[in-house]
């Protein structure tokens, strides 16, 4: 048996500028940080069958060894990763294995759960087969499986954040990626944690609707969308400097401006319910609020005055969502063996 775990992430600035065709033409820039919520994967030997399980989605599928598995329907990510691995690393020979996953955040929550799950699965296969894949290879493979082979819409940051972990400044241009770890002073990290919490709105969102709108707008050179994307890139650069220089006010300013720029890229980013929540937060001690991920629902990242954080969390929970106080995770995806594998 092998196991793996990969951290989920919060997008702090620039998220959306990593989506094609904008980042192919102009280049994208993103700042994010991984948190102590995770995607887990376990692979074990079976007897002449292939099993896929998702504990959080309560789904399971069984396949015979002589059946070609189609990467469609339920557990599409599990099937897509399996097919990619046997096609490229196991000479098209089926493997008699079970693959079980668990995500600690709902799919569609906006903190990279789908991509992180793919990274966790790839790392487990890497451990199982002794592939010794390098970090950039894992992230690039995860992107290819999701965005190319499964044709799932999205950006580039999630796969890389799950692989590298910690605070990162990410630059993307076409197929090129540059990941730079950010050395954030301890006092800055502590101040952010003291002021920050996540609020899950209770509603996942269909990110593909928003991303498709952003792709169409940027492809057609729609003025507001392009200006918003460039503005988000600028905020990622200013966020980088604020984090390095222990500038908490600059950090807040980048979050606030980044959210305004993000709303320019698609009419589906926000709605009346979200705006009502944000107004309530800002009227009651909030310093900055943004949606993590594509938008439309999922998690809100909230920065507020530390002395009112607990009270504000309790009040927001009465709206029907759920508040979390995450910690930062500084290690990326990892895997380990729990026994001797003879199933491949």
pLDDT score of 180: 98
pLDDT tens digit sequence for 242-256: 999 999 999 999 999
**Domain ranges, ordered by start, for the chain:** 2-182+331-337, 186-324
pLDDT score of 221: 58
Alpha carbon separation from 130 to 93, 283, 336 (Å, rounded): 16, 54, 11
Mind spelling out the 3-state secondary structure of the chain?
A: CEEEEEEEEEEEECCCCCCCCHHHHCCEEEEEEEEEEEEEEEEEECCCEEEEEECCCCEEEEEECCCCCCCCCCCHHHHHHHHHHHHHHCCCCCCCEEEEEEECCCCCCCCCHHHHHHHHHHHHHHHHHCCCCCHHHHHHHHHHHHHHHCCCCCCCHHHHHHHHCCEEEEEEECCEEEEEECCCCHHHHHHHHHHEEEEECCCCCCHHHHHHHHHHHHHCCCHHHHHHHHHHHHHHHHHHHHHHCCCHHHHHHHHHHHHHHHHCCCCCCCCHHHHHHHHHHHHCCEEEEEECCCCCCCEEEEEECHHHHHHHHHHHHCCCCEEECCCECCCCCEEEECCCCCCC
pLDDT score of 271: 85
For residue 297, what pLDDT band results from cuts at 50, 70 and 90? low
Per the model's pLDDT, the better-predicted residue between 221 and 303 turns out to be 303
Window from 24-33, 84-93, 223-232 with minimum mean pLDDT: 223-232
Whether domain 2-182+331-337 has CATH 3.30.230.10: the reply is yes
With a cut of 70, say whether residue 199 has pLDDT above it. yes
pLDDT score of 83: 97
With a cut of 70, say whether residue 217 has pLDDT above it. no
Q: Return mean pLDDT, the chain.
A: 91
Q: Are 189 and 330 contacting, i.e. CB atoms less than 8 angstroms apart? A: no
Window from 254-258, 280-284, 319-323 with minimum mean pLDDT: 319-323
pLDDT score of 284: 94
- Which of 54-58, 220-224, 291-295 has the largest mean confidence? 54-58
Architecture of domain 186-324: 2-Layer Sandwich (3.30)
With a cut of 60, say whether residue 206 has pLDDT above it. no
Which residue among the candidates 18, 126, 158, 213 is catalytic per the annotation? 158
pLDDT score of 268: 80
pLDDT score of 212: 62
pLDDT score of 64: 95
Residues 6+ apart with CB under 8 A from 309: 194, 195, 197, 325
pLDDT score of 270: 84
> Per-residue pLDDT averaged across 247-269, rounded?
93
Give the C-alpha separation, 211 to 12, whole Å: 18
Are 2-182+331-337 and 186-324 in the same CATH fold? no
With a cut of 70, say whether residue 110 has pLDDT above it. yes
pLDDT score of 107: 73
pLDDT score of 213: 60
> Per-residue pLDDT averaged across 21-32, rounded?
94
Annotated active-site residue 158? The verdict is yes
pLDDT score of 210: 57
For residue 174, what pLDDT band results from cuts at 50, 70 and 90? confident
pLDDT score of 298: 79
Window from 8-17, 54-63, 100-109, 178-187 with minimum mean pLDDT: 100-109
With a cut of 70, say whether residue 211 has pLDDT above it. no
Name the percent of the chain lying above pLDDT 90.
76
């Amino acid at each position: 048996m092998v196991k793996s775990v990969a951290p989920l992430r919060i997008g702090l600035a620039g998220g959306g500028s990593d989506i094609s065709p904008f980042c192919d033409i102009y280049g994208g820039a993103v700042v994010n940080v991984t948190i102590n919520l995770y995607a887990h994967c376990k692979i074990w030997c079976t007897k002449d069958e292939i099993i896929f399980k998702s504990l959080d989605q309560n789904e399971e599928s069984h396949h015979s060894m002589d059946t070609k598995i189609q990467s469609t329907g339920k557990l599409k990510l599990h099937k897509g990763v399996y097919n990619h691995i046997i096609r490229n690393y196991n000479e098209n020979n089926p493997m008699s294995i079970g693959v079980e996953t668990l995500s600690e955040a709902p799919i569609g929550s906006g903190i990279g759960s789908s991509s992180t799950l793919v990274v966790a699965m790839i790392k487990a296969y890497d451990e199982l087969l002794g592939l010794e894949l390098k970090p950039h290879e894992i992230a690039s493979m995860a992107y290819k499986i999701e965005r190319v082979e499964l044709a799932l819409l999205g950006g580039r940051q999630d796969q890389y954040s799950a692989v590298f972990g910690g605070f990162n400044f990410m630059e993307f241009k076409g197929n090129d990626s540059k990941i730079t770890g950010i050395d954030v002073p301890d006092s800055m990290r502590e101040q952010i944690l003291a002021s920050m919490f996540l609020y899950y709105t209770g509603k996942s969102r269909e990110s593909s609707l928003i991303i498709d709108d952003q792709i169409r707008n940027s492809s057609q050179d729609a003025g507001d969308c392009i200006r918003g994307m460039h503005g988000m890139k600028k905020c990622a650069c200013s966020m980088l400097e604020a984090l390095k220089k222990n500038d908490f006010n600059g950090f807040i300013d980048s979050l606030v401006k980044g959210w305004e720029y993000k709303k320019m890229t698609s009419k589906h980013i926000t709605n009346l319910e979200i705006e009502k929540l944000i107004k309530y937060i800002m009227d009651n001690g909030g310093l900055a609020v943004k949606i993590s991920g594509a938008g439309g629902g999922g998690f809100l990242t909230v920065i507020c005055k530390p002395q009112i954080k607990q009270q504000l969390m309790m009040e927001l929970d009465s709206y029907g969502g759920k508040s979390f106080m995450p910690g930062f995770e500084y290690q990326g995806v990892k895997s380990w063996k729990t026994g001797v594998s003879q199933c491949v």
